[in-house]
Amino acid sequence: MSSGLKIQRVFSTPGVNPFDAVEWDKRKAVIADEQGKVIFEQDNVQMPKSWSMLATNVVASKYFYGALGTDRRENSLRQLVHRVARTIADWGFADGYFQTKEDAEIFYSELAHLCLHQYGSFNSPVWFNCGLYQQYGIGKGNNAGNFYFDRKKKSIQRAETQYEYPQCSACFIQSVQDTMEGIMSLAHSEAMLFKFGSGTGSDLSTLRSTRERLSGGGRPSGPLSFLKVYDSIASVVKSGGKTRRAAKMNTLKCWHPDIKEFIEAKSKEEKKAWALIEGGYSGDFNGEAYASVSFQNENLSVRITDDFMKAVAEDREWRTHFVTDPNKPGPSYKAKDLMKWIAEGAWVCGDPGLQFEDTIQKWHTCKNSGPINSSNPCSEYMFVDDSACNLASLNLMKFLGEEGTFNVEKFRAAAEIYITAQEILVDRASYPTEQIARNSHLFRPLGLGYANLGSLLMALGLPYDSDGARGMAGAITAIMHMTAYGQ
């Protein structure tokens, strides 16, 4: 007998196709802009009757593949869920994750049921890219794809097509080297990540400041100049080829000589946008005002140390130092002034945020593999440079019974299915660089989380800020965490 997993049927029914157990109807998916102008419309979209129109609009506009008005366009949640669940189940069987073919089929039915009934969801790149090659033949004959780990050759290979090994992780952290080749290499890999619907973060502290010298005697452009380049690329390469903007995080450490300029960068651009709005330019999300200024496609965060926080508390001077020579001092500022500028920037435009350098390193689980220098755009993923994380979320409200109890066994079963699917995806997915593909294979970062905690606590009558609510959240997290590791 195979050493693979024995899959227990918990949600689906033996002998019943999970799609046949759903009541379907057809709808028109429509999305309009702030002025009421229709920017997306698809008629005869087949969705479960239980799904809201908001969910229908999101799925149809963001995740259905194919050009509108063509026979290649997906028009049913049935197609989307089958494309993803069938592909993952087939990969899992081929790679030895299941004891038998029957276990793979049960896994397919369970995963399809969970997705159809909104028990959970994968991150967007899975819906964008997974199964396009396997189910529809998309990508055959196209240019070479990204990098993946070949399980047979046990080495990193370049995919021959773009979707045979699809990009399936949402969150990336990438390094940047202080050379023109390194700076432009990051620009290229970021563009490829945005193309297939992912977000990325990088720490720019490796780039020498405007106060330093180049080897030829000239002055460096500094990290903010190259950040404008990255911002421009992100603004034109839409996430997953859709209308959603690309997502970026850029950090700078508090000792960097250009830290003041970094802190003030986004608030200065915000004030330019205000002036344009006052001059009559459109100030909405996709309007001319914000499209005309820089740094609108990334989050900025300052990496601050314990010593910096002590300097703020003690009203001390804060000294920066050169990137190329830590013994050579850069500009000095009152630590309180830097903190005030950070707070003012956050008040004006929400940036910069803070990342606590020393605390992050203390909690680092793989210290011997290198420090944690940055995060993904939303900061829930912090890990070593040149790595990626595949995300999925479980909908807590689906596990609340009518009698007001949380169904632990069903929650465990759902966690087992999703974490297994994510594990299968790691080596079947591709990545923009060889190093990210290698680190993904070796570390296998997976992020299984949950959504609707607030709704669950309200339904249970637990105040959000209470010991009972914290106890419930802790228990659910512990169950999910150990179930995922146990699988």
Single pTM value for the model: 0.93
How does pLDDT run across 386-425, given as a tens digit for each residue? Answer: 999 999 999 999 999 988 899 999 999 999 999 999 999 9
Catalytic residues: 376, 378, 380
Question: Quick one: pLDDT at residue 382?
Answer: 96
Question: Quick one: pLDDT at residue 213?
Answer: 86
How far does Cα 22 stand from its chain's mean position?
Answer: 30
Q: Is 477:424 a contact under the CB 8 Å cutoff?
A: no
Question: Quick one: pLDDT at residue 144?
Answer: 82
- CB neighbours of 36 closer than 8 A, spacing ≥ 6? none
Q: Is 32:39 a contact under the CB 8 Å cutoff?
A: yes
What's the mean pLDDT in 76-85?
A: 98
| Cα(417)–Cα(333) distance, integer angstroms | 53
- Among 234-243, 280-289, 321-330, whose mean pLDDT is lowest? 234-243
Question: In the chain, how many H helices and how many E strands?
Answer: 16, 16
| Cα(89)–Cα(487) distance, integer angstroms | 16
pLDDT band, residue 242 (cuts 50/70/90):
low
Task: Using the predicted structure, report yes or no on whether residue 239 has a pLDDT greater than 60.
Answer: no
Beta bridge partners of 449: 393
Mean pLDDT, rounded, of the chain: 94
